[in-house]
Amino acid sequence: MQTAATDMLNIEFPIFAFSHCRDVVAAVTKAGGLGVLGAVAHSPQALETDLAWIENEVGGRPYGVDLIVPAKYAGDEDGGYTLDDIAQLIPDTHRAFIDEILERYDVPELPADDTTTRSNTAVGGHDGNAPFSANAALPQLEVALASNASFIANALGPPPGFLIDRCKEEGKLIGALAGRPQHAERHQAAGVDIIIAQGSEAGGHTGEIGSMVLIPEIVDAVNIPVLGAGGIGRGRQMAAAMALGAQGVWCGS
């Protein structure tokens, strides 16, 4: 099945599969689609390790990396908040409220040196930097750009101009998620190559419009390839997205 999206990335099937698991990314790419590694929870070192592993597995086939590089940050002038900065914003009344709940339900304390429950989440950030901050995101971006990834997706808002410029310099395609037609229009104006039209079924973090309504609205709003996302897990749902004008699908779970 050939579409504008498959032609752009030289893949066999217009199936883009987002996953935090490197094994899934490699398996999808080897099967003819495009595996995309969700990297927000990775430290730069862990990301470098996983991308090297993926490249060894896929044998030169294309794959992608999904980052979160917002155009604006709290604390921009210093590269974004640190985790300590955020901790200081939590009021004492909220801390007391949480302590009371933990005591009421006999929740055991997490050992001070136990980071296993936080190692695979975006909540903890890395190297003392808050997740989604410039200081956290930019080292990840440098690792992704130095890799052989063919596609870089930005999962939150329009990609900053420097991200688009760097991707173009490195010969990588850039994608961005959109939950409204005006989001897609801004992405296209910024220089994005592929739009992921993400309905509310896909976690809801881009908006409240369902995929069946959103996909054709975004297809009509832009003149670059659109991928349908949100609630697509079977062939019939993929066929529906393609019938609505999508040039491929973006699958998560």
CATH number for the domain running over 63-75+126-251: 3.20.20.70
Query: Per-domain residue ranges for the chain?
Result: 63-75+126-251
β 194-198/173-178 pair status = parallel
Per residue in 134-152, pLDDT (tens digit) is 677 788 999 999 999 999 9
What is the distance between the alpha carbons of residues 21 and 95, in angstroms, rounded to a whole number?
34
Selected residue with higher pLDDT from 52 and 113: 52
User: Is the pTM here over 0.85, yes or no?
Assistant: no
Per residue in 161-195, pLDDT (tens digit) is 888 999 999 999 999 999 999 999 999 999 999 99
CA atoms within 13 A on the CB side of 58: 30
Q: Return the biggest CA–CA distance within the chain.
A: 58
DSSP string, 115-170: -TTTTTSSTT-BTTBPTTSHHHHHHHHHHHHHS--SEEEE-SSSPPHHHHHHHHHT
Q: Which residues 6+ apart lie within 8 Å of 30 measured at CB? A: 57, 58, 59, 61
Q: Is the model's pLDDT at 118 over the cut of 50?
A: no
